Homo-oligomer: A and B are copies of this chain.
């Protein structure tokens, strides 16, 4: 099989083979009612037989829309992000939109490049699952197609919608849960200066104060965990800013010979598959991921329908209590 790559057949080829005009082929393939049953069938058969496939570039160029939603994600390694992507995809598909994914790991400018690239491709909307994209890049992109930030909302950017969970509230849920179990020395592991991290830290601090534990507030960087668990006044509970870091805490606890949750309660955030795999199973905060995807796509179509005012959707997170604390 020599795998000869000849120029792909076009509408004209199909038209010639079927003995009709290109316009009629176009109409038939798109299921236009004004084509007689007999001819439609014949055209479909011919198209199939010559292996015709439409050119999305040509269609996009002519129609000015692509029926494509671009999704930009900063890392494929973070299950939280990828799980959101899946929910966006399901929602888009339900609207007859297809999703193309781009990820720009490592450097920040690569992410920005990918946003532009998807824009150049002609997507009808853009979902950004990362707070790591400069605001001006988003604003520029939004001149051509609506943009929604999902899951990792940065400061609101004018003209850009967002869907997120209430990180402060989620953190408060954790603190109240731990406090209710009698924990007082509740530490927080959080090395992030980005919006979600900041909000969770603030939620932790405020909630600690609200339950009268402000004197026990103690926030450490991820690489300070070993030290945190070694000291004499070590905490009885640790709330980590996400599941990944919670797993690291579990790991350190194991090294330090601490039983979880007997000696140390550990709680994460995001309810990713890491939480469901960890031993003991991780107590964590669940965001409504499927709702996120659905709402994101709704916001896009809303913009395409002409809505001009910004919408910032905030979903209520839910505490999932498992074995770790």
Take A5-B143, A158-B1, A159-B1 as given contacts and tell me if A86 and B57 are in contact as well, using a CB distance cutoff of 8 Å: no
> CA separation between A101 and B2, bound complex, in Å?
27
Residues of B within 8 A of A6 (CB): 143
A251 near B273: Cβ-Cβ < 8 Å: no
A262 at the A/B interface (Cβ < 8 Å)?
A: no
Binds B, one of A116-124, A179-187, A204-212, A223-231: A116-124
Q: Number of A residues whose C-beta is below 8 Å from B?
A: 58
Name the contact of A120 in the complex, choosing from B56, B140, B273 (C-beta under 8 A): B56
> CA separation between A106 and B274, bound complex, in Å?
20
A19 at the A/B interface (Cβ < 8 Å)?
A: no
B61 near A140: Cβ-Cβ < 8 Å: no
> CA separation between A116 and B2, bound complex, in Å?
21
A76 at the A/B interface (Cβ < 8 Å)?
A: yes
B56 near A122: Cβ-Cβ < 8 Å: yes
A5 near B53: Cβ-Cβ < 8 Å: no
B122 near A55: Cβ-Cβ < 8 Å: yes
B99 near A100: Cβ-Cβ < 8 Å: no
B144 near A5: Cβ-Cβ < 8 Å: yes
A53 near B98: Cβ-Cβ < 8 Å: no
Name the contact of A103 in the complex, choosing from B57, B89, B122 (C-beta under 8 A): B89
Residues of B within 8 A of A194 (CB): none
A254 at the A/B interface (Cβ < 8 Å)?
A: yes
B53 near A57: Cβ-Cβ < 8 Å: no
Of A60, A85, A139, A251, which is in contact with the most chain B CB atoms at under 10 Å from its CB? Answer: A60
Name the contact of A56 in the complex, choosing from B121, B158, B247, B303 (C-beta under 8 A): B121
Which residue on B lies nearest to A273, using beta carbons? B77
Q: How far is the CB of A212 from chain B (nearest CB, A)?
A: 36
Interchain Cβ contacts under 8 Å between A and B, 21 examples: A1-B139, A2-B159, A3-B158, A3-B159, A3-B308, A5-B143, A5-B144, A5-B146, A8-B143, A53-B144, A55-B61, A56-B117, A56-B120, A57-B57, A57-B121, A61-B61, A76-B76, A76-B82, A82-B82, A98-B117, A251-B279
Rank and list the top 8 A-B pairs by shortest CB-CB distance, nearest first: A3-B159, A101-B101, A1-B158, A76-B82, A57-B60, A57-B57, A57-B61, A56-B120
